[in-house]
Amino acid sequence: MPNIVLTRIDNRLIHGQVATQWTGSIGANLLLVANDQVAKNQMRQRLMKMAAPTSAQTRFFTIDHTIEIIHKAADRQKIFIICENPQDVLRLVEGGVPITKVNIGNMHMAEGKKQVVGSVAVDQADVEAFKQLRDKGVELEIRRVPTESAESIDKVFEAF
């Protein structure tokens, strides 16, 4: 069983908060960005590697490759999975990745989205993915940084 210490939704993927606050507070030694576009984009990978902490390895996998390889992870790997949106997390869970808790950090405002909490904006597709994750027993929390208290996930479900 892979040692997944946290799964986070953050549309910025690896950036300062992830590198300096989350990685240290959860003791991760492997940051796994599960994202189909980033897995093929060397420029974005290089930028994220510059922000990543030196205390952790960084990997950029497609969703399918993550599903294929996650169960081969060594016990010593403390894996921090970072996804861009709830649909990608749902694909991971449906593919057998043992995710039990999801931290919702940053989902920026865009056309068709509603702001539900400070840094979280959702559309109908996001809400549906969160409902499916919840129905599969995945714990959901909204929290920007580890030192803050979690916000109620109910605000997401009330959006639409």
Identify the active-site residue in 15, 65, 71, 108: 15
DSSP code for 160 = -
Whose structure tokens read 């979690």? 150
Please answer whether residues 123 and 116 qualify as being in contact, where contact means their C-beta atoms are separated by less than 8 angstroms. no
Give the sheet arrangement for strand 101-106, strand by strand: 57-61, 30-34, 79-83, 4-10, 101-106, 139-142
Rounded to 5°, angle at Cα 157 from 110 and 114: 20
Q: 15 catalytic, yes or no? A: yes
Q: How many CA atoms lie within 13 A of 140 on its CB side?
A: 22
Tokens for 68, please give them: 């294929």
User: Which of the residues are catalytic?
Assistant: 15
